[in-house]
Structure 1
Amino acid sequence: MRIWVSRPEPGASRTGRRLAELGHEPLVAPVLAVRPTGTPLPPGRPDAILLTSANGAEALGRTPGMEGLRAIPVLAVGARTAAAARAAGLGPVEEAEGDGAALAGRVRARFAPGCRLLLAAGEDRKAEPAASLAAAGYEVALLVAYAAEAVAGLPEAAAQALAAGRLDAALHYSRRSAEVAYERAAAAGHGGAFGRLRHYCLSDDVAAPLEARGIAAHFVAMRPREEDLLAGLADRF
């Protein structure tokens, strides 16, 4: 299949390579760009660090003052985030099963209420795991380590492919990237072509902004993991 990958770099190129290995024709055209915020670490030494994305891990690893925190336990939301944390020199690292609820469960199993947790996340983030952990008595200090900024317009390669009918499907890794992909396509006059694609989504939450606009998700992964998402490509019809 000819598949649009709209997630930001560096994940977009990595996904593109995976798709090519699987025999697909990827179009890597991100609609978001990840930028580190440069926000300083909050005061105080945490008992553990929580990471909900690989982008957060990479940005945290470059944050000034991290040198003194590199031996603190890290709980990562999933395998990709855990690998990014290790690559950034963080850890020891333990990985959860792929979502915020699972990450919160790992925290409760490892640390007692009252512990101080440093959550490194993006500017656009979900309520979990911070909300349930704070309600359970944990002290959660938030570091907004990066922001995912929407591109000004539909990438030219995507515009040409949609106009010429040279795309069969789109992969969506986040709620925001799915929403921005639709908005940029619609603003460029290609909303209909976008809607006719087969849309493969990492979770129900990712599919929600598409379905709110009447665009059905062709496939939603059972678990929010890339392997589960790519496995869905075998079901083409």
Structure 2
Amino acid sequence: MTRPESGPEPDPLRDALRAAGHRIMQAPLLSVTLTGTMPSLEGAQALIATSRNGLRAVAPVPGAALELPIFAVGPGTAALARRLGFRRVIEGPGTGAELAEVIRTEADPVAGALIHLAGDTLAFDLKSALAPLGFEVRTETVYRTETAPALPTEVADTLRRDELDAVLLMSPRTARVYAELVADPSLAAAARRLRHFCLSEAVAGELTPLGPVSVTVARLPNSQEMLALIAREAPDSP
């Protein structure tokens, strides 16, 4: 698994895979630093969370924020929003572009600003997508990310021994970092023998520099569909 550690929060995808009997190695390719502050809610009609990290960064959530609707990018982020106490969670299908369409139909451009709880690197620019429709989006950086300089030693050694079956890639940026790291001559051949389970076509597209590799994409960009993908493609992987 290559996505960032979830801190004290459980990782439902990891836990579900372990419950199904899979052995997991953690190789977080991004590290996350949370700011720990809630942006000003003045004039806000709703919040937007495009990752679980955006929610973790403002927890515990003040009561005034919990009263606002929150647009969550997909089921995993929506589930965390509910656990944190948000009373009205509007769940998107899984990508920023799809969430923009949900916001277009559910929010009112004249009802107030939308507060996007964002990281320092945006996979999709909601502000640019929604501004032409009359929405005011305030993009608030509540966490920052840094890329890993290398795979964890234990993971790299296991890869070299051809003892890994597959890699899970949940974002385009993570896939891009992964492709750069496994281009190392000592890893490249073994990496090409792995199965690559990707959240979306955008994620899969970042693997092009690796050449011909086994790539399978989830039917929808969310954790539940990743689980379904792995159940279909690797039901007997220990």
Give your verdict on TM over 0.5. yes
Tell me which amino acid in the other structure corresponds to 2:26: V
Please give the residue correspondences for 1:1-237 in structure 2 after superposition, counting only pairs within 5 Å: 5-10=1-6, 14-38=12-36, 41-42=39-40, 44-62=42-60, 66-114=62-110, 115-187=112-184, 189-233=186-230, 234-236=232-234
Which sections of structure 1, spanning at least 5 residues, go unmatched? none
What do the CA deviations read for 1:55-111 (whole angstroms, capped 9, x no partner)? 111113357xx4432211111111111111122233421212222233222222222
TM-score (norm 1): 0.87
Report if the CA contact (8 A) 2:48-2:70 is conserved. Answer: yes
Following the alignment from structure 1 to structure 2, what is the Cα–Cα distance between the partners of residues 96 and 14? 18
Cα distance change of structure 1 residues 16 and 79 upon mapping to structure 2, 3 Å threshold: closer
Following the alignment from structure 1 to structure 2, what is the Cα–Cα distance between the partners of residues 13 and 120? 20
Following the alignment from structure 2 to structure 1, what is the Cα–Cα distance between the partners of residues 188 and 200? 22
Q: State the SS of the aligned residue for 1:25.
A: coil
- Give the % identical residues: 34
Cα distance change of structure 1 residues 69 and 24 upon mapping to structure 2, 3 Å threshold: closer
What do the CA deviations read for 1:176-213 (whole angstroms, capped 9, x no partner)? 11222232233472122112211010001111110244
Q: State the SS of the aligned residue for 2:144.
A: strand
More divergent stretch after superposition (133-142 vs 216-225): 216-225
Following the alignment from structure 2 to structure 1, what is the Cα–Cα distance between the partners of residues 35 and 203? 24
Q: State the SS of the aligned residue for 1:50.
A: strand
Cα distance change of structure 1 residues 40 and 19 upon mapping to structure 2, 3 Å threshold: closer
What do the CA deviations read for 1:146-177 (whole angstroms, capped 9, x no partner)? 12222232201211111111011111011111
Following the alignment from structure 2 to structure 1, what is the Cα–Cα distance between the partners of residues 49 and 14? 24
TM-score (norm 2): 0.86
Report if the CA contact (8 A) 2:3-2:170 is conserved. Answer: yes
Report if the CA contact (8 A) 1:61-1:89 is conserved. Answer: no
Following the alignment from structure 1 to structure 2, what is the Cα–Cα distance between the partners of residues 215 and 138? 42
Count of residue pairs brought into register by the alignment: 231
Cα distance change of structure 1 residues 195 and 207 upon mapping to structure 2, 3 Å threshold: same
Q: State the SS of the aligned residue for 2:90.
A: strand
Deviation at 1:21, TM superposition (A): 2.1
- Tell me the C-alpha RMSD between the 2 structures: 2.4
Q: State the SS of the aligned residue for 1:68.
A: helix
Cα distance change of structure 1 residues 140 and 226 upon mapping to structure 2, 3 Å threshold: same
Following the alignment from structure 1 to structure 2, what is the Cα–Cα distance between the partners of residues 86 and 26? 27
Tell me which amino acid in the other structure corresponds to 1:103: L
Report if the CA contact (8 A) 2:48-2:71 is conserved. Answer: yes
Q: State the SS of the aligned residue for 1:33.
A: strand
